[in-house]
Amino acid sequence: MESFDQNQRIQNKMYPFSMYEDSIWNTFVNNFAKKYLEWSGRLSLVDYIKTSVVLTIIFSITSMGLFLIIPSANLSKVLIIFVTLFIGISVVPSISLLCRRLNDIGLNKTKLLYLLFPIFGVLYLFFTLLRKSEVSIRYIEMGKKSFWGSNWTVSTYKLIYILSVLLLFVVCNIVYKPIINSTLLVSKVETIASNIADEYTKYTTIDYINRNKEDKSLKSKSEQERAEQEQIEKQKIEQNQERIRLESIEKAKQKNIDQAQNAVEKFYLAIDQQKYNDAYKMFSDNQRNVIGNFGDWKQGYQNTMSVELKRLDLKNYSDTSISFEYLLTSNDRISGGIEQKVFRGNIVMLKINGSWYIDSQDGELLRSEILRDSYNSYKGPSYNGRR
């Protein structure tokens, strides 16, 4: 192998382990697992993209996998634990990666402070890190490795990087957005906001009393203190009453949700057990006008062998009307065997005289497939089994 010239030796000093261009996975392992505490080196644009893409794909695939296999009752806890562990493991290697990339561009590490600005700061760093390096790498051509993607251009890598960011955005919108919008999290935020408001009210009350002390020249010191104490006690009583009221509202809300949810489960269980009279009684007058009489409605289930509710998610709530989004499967007998269908739709429950009835219902067919004749061989886990 022929000797390096002076410029090539300088480049190899600035880019340790970069004499040979390596595969995407080997580059990720080298930067993430071996050089996670290296702050002063330099990182090429292509190696930065390779490492970032692998890290993004690992996070996205794992998140989707947990979303699909973990029961809905435990999903939020499992995802929070996963995100915490992922951040804890990747935060140091990621900062090291950014520092070496900024060194390569010729920027100071203080640019990392832009991350403190959620939107504009992150966008600034996103486009800044895709700039060309001050010095390009010249790999040893005689020892160049052959691997998948070795002939890709920098533009191709940039496109892959942008696509991985879009994938991350889609996964977060599907997996993590429902958790952020969940009733439990909203309840916690409301409790925290209530506590902050209570502390602020207490502070303003005491401040108001202190600012008016000088105007009470005709009152004795003991009378002033007694008035202040009475005001504080009154404020505490009002805060306690407000807290009790909010807790009572939250409990009543959760009770309504549970009752409506149980009614939906009871409805589909009656259909699954072919108790059509019981199921038809759960329709409101408005829904009966839509679906017709009992005989016409029952006729639609003449070939149905079973119905299983797979998922039921809360959409909108009021004290007398609650809507859910559902996912269910049905198994119908056909001439060629058994056809399994998967439906997704919305169902609105209406509270009438203390009981919940189905007031409207829609659905769309997501997919269907023909199964073999053995009925017991294809029944999957039901919604009740996932709770």
Options 3.90.850.10, 3.10.450.100, 3.40.462.10, 3.30.365.10; CATH of 249-371: 3.10.450.100
pLDDT tens digits, one per residue of 176-224: 777 766 545 455 545 655 666 666 677 666 766 666 665 555 566 778 8
Return residue ranges of the chain for CATH 3.10.450.100. Answer: 249-371
Sign of the Cα torsion 63, 68, 69, 72 reads: positive
Top-confidence residue, 40 or 386:
40
What is the rounded CA–CA span in Å between residue 295 and residue 276?
Answer: 10
Report pTM.
Answer: 0.39
Spatial distance between the Cα atoms of 179 and 283, rounded to a whole number of angstroms: 31
- Whole-angstrom distance, CA of residue 66 vs CA of residue 80: 11
pLDDT score recorded for residue 308: 93
User: pLDDT tens digits for 231-264?
Assistant: 898 888 988 888 888 888 999 999 999 999 999 9
Task: Assess whether pLDDT exceeds 80 at residue 344.
Answer: yes
Residues 6+ apart with CB under 8 A from 232: 202, 205, 206
365: Cα within 13 Å, side-chain hemisphere: 8
Strand, helix or coil for residue 44: coil
Banded pLDDT at 265 (limits 50, 70, 90) = very high
At 79, which helix (H) or strand (E)? helix 72-105
Residue 341 in 3-state DSSP?
strand
Q: Looking at residue 357, what is its pLDDT?
A: 96
Q: CA-CA distances (angstroms) from residue 160 to 26, 200, 331, 387?
A: 17, 49, 42, 39
CA atoms of 230 and 319, how far apart (whole Å): 37
Q: Apex CA 165: angle with CA 159 and CA 166, to 5°?
A: 90
Sheet of strand 321-334: strand arrangement: 304-317, 321-334, 337-352, 355-371
41, 35 contact by CB (below 8 A): yes
- Alpha carbons within 13 angstroms on the beta-carbon side of residue 28 total 14
